[in-house]
């Protein structure tokens, strides 16, 4: 590195700005030209809107110039001009020849048709011409990027004594404000923006396209070059992406499972390309590919990416991401699946929570404008790609159908295993499905209510059953129930141990199912895990409790025992049951009524 510095070669990205005569400001990122520093060049070029491709007249086109041009083409940079410097060092004939070579080279690229500007430090008219060109660039804007949630890929991190952590980068989308909270990925840490500088001046707000320095409330060792900063707190990492790739001239074909280097934002990650064992990609080929990453990235559809070989490091091609969270597969090139905005939105929804709310911020993770986003939502509703459950909850139809199927399967299994029970307990059902579909309590209740409205299930006494399900007793079970009721009638105590019914000559599990059948249909009441009582006696006991508290504030065990005529043991167990169901509240050996 010392040798390069001594020779005046750029080895790190440089940053500068120029205030134009009109008052506008243009920011410059000076990237290294040497082929050994393409990685550094990529970190600087990823966020630019326009380019000045500089070629020295006395040196002409270099291999790295061609590689830079290919990279700019893959990044889709379509604004800018080509500057031929040191024009005074060559003849007019040589200038024309170089210009023609450049036009041939840029033909059919994003730089095609760029103005070619001749420059010399000894000619003042060149300076004026260059300022006019820069004025055109400064008026360029992209409404979609201006609207989107803020994104900044960090390219430098350092600490200033007395100030704290400073990060720099190009704000590629949105705006940021001093004092707001921003999210750092991959750490997913929240931090506050304590200060902003744009082109060396402190500002309150930074806009997309500007070079910014941020003073953040985060330790400098918790953030690094390549990290993403965004106002969105819902970016999810991905290890598999799909991209539309266009290759450059290749010295060797790209083979299945070849190890490559992927450049996205300011991050470099290793990856494998999934093509199929017998497939290969050749020079100047365009096709959709899948990449299996070795480190996670945070990206959006339409983000540009560059691919380089692992060794030797040569740029192979580039393109845009068309699926940010893909499933493992070998992309079939015979598929007629075309990428469009609808697919982007559907892909994001697949990796969102089951339910989502359509509001302005919903579209911040997409490359869509607000109007386009709402237009696509209406189209998806019309085509039943998504469903509207209420004003605040939508669901992807595929996810909703899978959730309903999971619930119906769980309820059906409960019916098969316990045919005499009314159904599955609501909370038990929620815990069963939460491993596949994590739902909040309100989301789960919305799901159950919607399925009940659609007559898929029904609810009774906090139990969920299939809509048309009704337990049917055979003659053996009916006789067993008669025996259960006879045991209860002849029992000396109001509360009957459930084990007392095991004298009936049936399997223990069958007897317990019959007891739960009677409990579910409110002929018996479960007092605790071991004792039951009849519903008639239970209601009489509850009424006595209510009547007592009409004229009293405190109830003792002895007083309730005298009222009911139960044994002390039964009285204590019944009062403990009332505590659990929130009818009473215990204070030492007394109870007070809980008023609803």
pLDDT at 72: 86
- What would the mean pLDDT of 41-60 be, rounded to a whole number? 82
* Both tokens assigned to 57: 């007249």
390 neighbors 446 (Cβ within 8 angstroms): yes
Lowest mean pLDDT among 220-234, 253-267, 325-339, 403-417: 325-339
pLDDT at 576: 95
Residues near 324 by Cβ (< 8 Å), separated by ≥ 6? 238, 241, 299, 300, 301, 303, 347, 348
Q: What 8-state DSSP symbol labels residue 265?
A: T
> 516: how many CB neighbours lie within 10 A of its CB?
18
The whole-chain average pLDDT of the chain stands at: 86
pLDDT over 60 at 88, yes or no: yes
65 neighbors 84 (Cβ within 8 angstroms): no
Q: Single out the residue of 124, 134, 295 nearest to residue 224, CA to CA.
A: 295
Whether omega before 312 lies within 30 degrees of 0, making that bond cis, reads yes
- What would the mean pLDDT of 470-480 be, rounded to a whole number? 85
Q: Residue 499: what are its φ and ψ, rounded to 5°?
A: -70, -20
> 44: how many CB neighbours lie within 10 A of its CB?
20
Side-chain half-sphere of 101: how many Cα atoms within 13 Å? 14
Long-range contacts of 92-95 (CB under 8 A, 24+ apart): 94/57, 95/57
Between 424 and 345, name the one with better pLDDT. Answer: 424
Between 146 and 502, name the one with better pLDDT. Answer: 502
pLDDT at 2: 47
300 neighbors 280 (Cβ within 8 angstroms): no
> Which residue in the block uniquely carries the two structure tokens 């299945």?
256
- What would the mean pLDDT of 161-166 be, rounded to a whole number? 92
pLDDT at 9: 46
Residue range 320-339, pLDDT digits in tens: 888 888 888 887 765 544 45
pLDDT over 70 at 294, yes or no: yes
Q: What 8-state DSSP symbol labels residue 36?
A: G
Rounded to whole angstroms, the Cα distance separating 11 from 255 reads: 32
How distant, in Å, are the alpha carbons of 170, 231, 498, 565 from that of 535? 72, 58, 15, 17
Map residue 298 onto helix, strand or coil: coil
pLDDT at 226: 92
pLDDT at 45: 75
Q: Interior CA angle at 269 toward 265 and 272, to 5°? A: 125
Side-chain half-sphere of 152: how many Cα atoms within 13 Å? 30
pLDDT at 40: 74
pLDDT at 584: 94
* Greatest mean pLDDT among 139-148, 403-412, 418-427, 505-514: 403-412
- What would the mean pLDDT of 202-219 be, rounded to a whole number? 92
> 346: how many CB neighbours lie within 10 A of its CB?
16
Lowest mean pLDDT among 38-47, 170-179, 183-192, 273-282: 38-47
Q: Single out the residue of 430, 503, 517, 437 nearest to residue 470, CA to CA.
A: 517
- The rounded Cα 329 to chain-centroid distance in angstroms is 21
Residue range 99-121, pLDDT digits in tens: 999 999 888 888 888 889 899 88
Map residue 297 onto helix, strand or coil: strand
Angle between helices 38-45 and 63-74 (to 10 degrees): 30
- What would the mean pLDDT of 11-21 be, rounded to a whole number? 74
Rounded to whole angstroms, the Cα distance separating 72 from 114 reads: 13
Rounded to whole angstroms, the Cα distance separating 31 from 45 reads: 8
pLDDT over 80 at 419, yes or no: yes
Q: Residue 147: what are its φ and ψ, rounded to 5°?
A: -75, -35
How distant, in Å, are the alpha carbons of 261, 389, 398, 436 from that of 385? 36, 13, 8, 21
Q: Residue 226: what are its φ and ψ, rounded to 5°?
A: 100, -20
Q: Single out the residue of 155, 153, 130, 140 nearest to residue 52, CA to CA.
A: 130
Tell whether the torsion through CA atoms of 504, 506, 512 and 513 is positive or negative: negative
pLDDT at 52: 87
pTM for this predicted structure: 0.63
Residues near 546 by Cβ (< 8 Å), separated by ≥ 6? none
457 neighbors 407 (Cβ within 8 angstroms): yes
pLDDT over 50 at 8, yes or no: no
Rounded to whole angstroms, the Cα distance separating 513 from 516 reads: 5
Rounded to whole angstroms, the Cα distance separating 513 from 419 reads: 8
194 neighbors 211 (Cβ within 8 angstroms): no
Backbone φ/ψ region at 265: left (φ over 0), alpha (ψ -120 to 50), beta: left
- What would the mean pLDDT of 220-242 be, rounded to a whole number? 89
Rounded to whole angstroms, the Cα distance separating 114 from 95 reads: 16
């Amino acid at each position: 590195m010392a040798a390069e510095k001594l020779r005046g070669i750029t080895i790190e990205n440089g940053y500068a700005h120029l205030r134009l005569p009109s008052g506008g400001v243009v920011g410059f990122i000076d990237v290294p030209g040497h082929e050994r520093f393409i990685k550094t060049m990529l970190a600087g070029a990823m966020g630019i809107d326009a380019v000045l491709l500089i070629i020295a007249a006395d040196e002409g086109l270099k291999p790295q110039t061609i590689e830079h041009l290919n990279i700019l083409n893959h990044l889709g940079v379509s604004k800018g001009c080509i500057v031929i410097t040191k024009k005074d060092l060559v003849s007019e004939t040589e200038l024309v020849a170089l210009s023609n070579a450049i036009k041939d080279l840029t033909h059919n690229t994003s730089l095609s048709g760029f103005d070619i500007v001749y420059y010399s430090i000894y000619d003042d008219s060149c300076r004026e011409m260059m300022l006019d060109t820069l004025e055109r660039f400064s008026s360029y804007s992209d409404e979609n990027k201006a609207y989107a949630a803020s994104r900044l890929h960090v390219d430098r991190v350092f600490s200033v004594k007395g100030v704290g952590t400073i990060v720099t980068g190009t704000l590629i989308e949105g705006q940021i404000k001093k004092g707001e909270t921003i999210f750092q990925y991959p750490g997913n840490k929240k931090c506050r923006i304590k200060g902003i500088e744009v082109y060396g001046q402190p500002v309150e707000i930074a806009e997309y396209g500007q070079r910014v320095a941020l003073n953040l409330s985060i330790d400098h060792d918790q953030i690094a070059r390549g990290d993403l900063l965004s106002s969105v707190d819902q970016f999810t990492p991905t290890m598999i992406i799909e991209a539309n790739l266009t290759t450059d001239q290749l010295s060797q074909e790209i083979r299945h499972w070849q190890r490559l280097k992927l450049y996205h934002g300011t991050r470099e990650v290793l990856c494998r390309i999934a093509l199929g064992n017998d497939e290969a990609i050749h020079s100047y080929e365009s096709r959709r590919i899948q990449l299996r990453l070795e480190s996670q990235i945070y990206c959006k559809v339409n983000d540009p990416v560059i691919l380089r070989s692992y060794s030797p490091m040569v740029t192979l091609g580039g393109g845009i991401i068309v699926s940010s969270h893909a499933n493992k597969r070998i992309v079939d090139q015979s598929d007629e699946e075309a990428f469009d905005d609808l697919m982007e939105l559907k892909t994001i929804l697949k990796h969102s929570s089951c339910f989502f709310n359509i509001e302005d911020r919903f579209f911040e993770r997409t490359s869509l404008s607000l109007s386009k986003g709402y237009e696509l939502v209406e189209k998806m509703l019309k085509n039943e790609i998504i469903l509207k459950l209420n004003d605040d909850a939508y669901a992807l139809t595929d996810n909703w159908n899978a959730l309903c199927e999971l619930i119906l399967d769980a309820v059906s299994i409960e019916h098969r295993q316990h045919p005499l029970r009314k159904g599955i307990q609501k909370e038990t059902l929620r815990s069963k499905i939460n491993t596949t579909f994590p739902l909040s309590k309100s989301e789960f209740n919305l799901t159950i209510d919607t399925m009940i409205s659609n007559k898929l299930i029904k609810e009774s006494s906090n139990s969920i059953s299939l809509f048309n399900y009704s337990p049917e007793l055979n003659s053996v079970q009916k006789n067993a129930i008669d025996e259960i009721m006879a045991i209860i009638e002849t029992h000396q105590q109001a509360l009957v141990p459930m084990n007392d019914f095991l004298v009936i000559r049936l399997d223990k599990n069958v007897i317990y199912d019959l007891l739960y059948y009677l409990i579910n249909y409110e002929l018996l009441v479960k007092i605790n895990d071991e004792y039951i009582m009849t519903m008639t006696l239970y209601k009489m006991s509850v009424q006595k409790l209510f009547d007592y508290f009409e004229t009293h504030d405190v109830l003792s065990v002895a007083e309730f025992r005298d009222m009911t005529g139960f044994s002390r043991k039964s009285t204590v167990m019944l009062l403990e049951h009332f505590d659990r169901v929130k009818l009473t509240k215990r204070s030492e050996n007394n109870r007070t009524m809980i008023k609803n």
